[in-house]
Amino acid sequence: MTNFQRTFSIKTLDLDHVIIYKDQAEVKRNFQISLKKGKNFILLTNVSASIVKESIQFDFKTIPHGPSVNSE
């Protein structure tokens, strides 16, 4: 099986919205990629060191068998 990796800097992704709460903030950014057959790895760079890893969410559309997400 072939592996493919794409790298994106958070700073270059389109900003959708920001919601600020008393003790946290929600930042939504959008980007689209075409996945290839095989394993696709998406590396996001320039992510804040204070981010809560479990809060990262992805919205996958038009993927027939659904992805698995690993945040390391």
Identify the pLDDT of residue 71. 58
Query: pLDDT tens string for the chain (72 positions)?
Result: 788 899 999 999 999 999 999 998 999 998 888 888 888 888 999 998 888 888 888 877 766 665 565 655
Identify the pLDDT of residue 14. 93
Identify the pLDDT of residue 18. 96
Residue by residue, what is the 3-state secondary structure of the chain?
Answer: CCEEEEEEEHHHCEEEEEEECCCCEEEEEECCCCCCCCEEEEEEECCCCCCCHHHCCCCCCCCCCCCCCCCC
List % helix, strand, coil for the chain (3-state, nearest 5): 10, 40, 55
